[in-house]
Structure 1
């Protein structure tokens, strides 16, 4: 054997041994990736922690979190069956029923909006009643249009009493900040944009409507049927995220702020307006009862209201809208 050949054999053996002894940085996950959508809302920013800290991998589930710059785009993509699940509010989920791929099913409550959804007006407008005849920029038919409709109803007005200028929420906030409209319906981080207008004030928020805007994880009925164990692992991962947030607040806020595209210090102003749900609050939300804290009751109430204001033509079939089995297993464990 020549010296050159011997050296080549020794080098090859060294490579084989190095590969054999090395450990993969993350476990190999089987199956097609489950694609879940999320967008720019404070209650959904924590999913970025699951990505950054590899918490899905820790639980042995192959998940791709797909970020959407537009909230409506995320819902349309899910309703068309192009992703396996999405982060959306209860009223908006009702709007998009039944959806493709076995329907849309709620498996987790992330949070309730507790003030972060806002109707913001210029300095000359001090109340919802004073919006009559004014121009309001809002993303039509979705969450803050719903909040606007609730607030108008409380003062004896309707959407017909204001001039609705429909546009995506980010554009709506920019238009208001530039003085192009009298008021805007928005959520973080776009409320921050709107408040840059001199004299801008909040005249209504989700704080006055507890339980009206639950923020959820919805998945397709087909995913539950075909991969129930993976859905369980996804729900489990959310609680690992919440545990990480409790133990590592500064790192968590940095990850979420980066995902939201805002300075870390700006995140502080949104914390109180997002009330994250505990496991017990999830169990209550999935239960039967009278009151907006119970989603089966809330969904019927929302659907009735949404039909009355023309958001949807009729109440959809909601008999399979909620699946509490996954949160119950987390609670039992």
Structure 2
């Protein structure tokens, strides 16, 4: 969408991007604990497949094919889609393990969430801080090798 907006307004440019502050925005997968408990091994397989997917995307030998697959899925030209891939930092299993180390920096899912949480409270987005530590469950990632 941002790319479409930039194209539709002559002279427009990006003034700030999440690419400028890695770790500011993390995307993740959420699952309720009852489903996780009942299907733990399946969720581990999902994480392992994601690790292989990220490696396929990042491997120079298979990168073009990965972009072609993803761009076809969303109906965007591969050349245009490549711009999105370049601005997205995908975490493989090792990267996820690092991101799940608890600290206050943007290198950590915890740290990023602490900062966002405080921003939201300070700006009246919500009144009570969220229990960040209670929402993040790194165990499956940390159990895998």
TM-score, scaled relative to structure 2:
0.85
Larger Rg: 1
Superposed displacement of residue 243, structure 1: 3.4
The structure whose residues are more often helix, as a share, is 2
Match of 2:32 among 214, 220, 223: 220
Q: Which runs of 4+ in 1 moved over 6 A?
A: none
- Deviation per CA, 1:134-169: give whole Å up to 9, x if none: xxxxxxxxxxxxxxxxxxxxxxxxxxxxxxxxxxxx
Residue equivalent to 1:307: 121
Asked if the contact 1:223–1:231 (Cα under 8 Å) also holds between the matched residues in 2, the reply is no
Please tell me whether the aligned partners of residues 48 and 93 of structure 2 are also in contact (alpha carbons under 8 angstroms): no
1:209 aligned partner: 21
Q: Higher strand proportion, which one?
A: 1
Deviation track 1:284-312 (CA, whole Å, cap 9, x = no partner) reads 21112231112223222211111112222
Unaligned runs of 5+ in 1: 1-189
Aligned equivalent of 2:6: 195
Mapping for residues 1-333 of structure 1, pairs under 5 Å: 190-196=1-7, 197-245=9-57, 246=59, 247-330=61-144, 332=145
Report which structure shows greater RCO (CA 8 Å, sep ≥6).
1
Once the two structures are superposed, what CA deviation does each residue of 1:65-124 show, in whole Å capped at 9, x if it has no partner?
xxxxxxxxxxxxxxxxxxxxxxxxxxxxxxxxxxxxxxxxxxxxxxxxxxxxxxxxxxxx
In structure 2, what is the Cα distance between the partners aligned to 1:278 and 1:236? Answer: 9
Runs of 5+ consecutive residues of structure 2 not aligned to the other structure = none
Instruction: Tell me the number of residue pairs that the alignment of Structure 1 and Structure 2 aligns.
Output: 142
Q: Higher mean Cα deviation, 265-274 or 315-324?
A: 315-324
Report how far residue 244 of structure 1 moved.
3.3
Q: Over aligned residue pairs, what C-alpha RMSD do you find?
A: 1.8
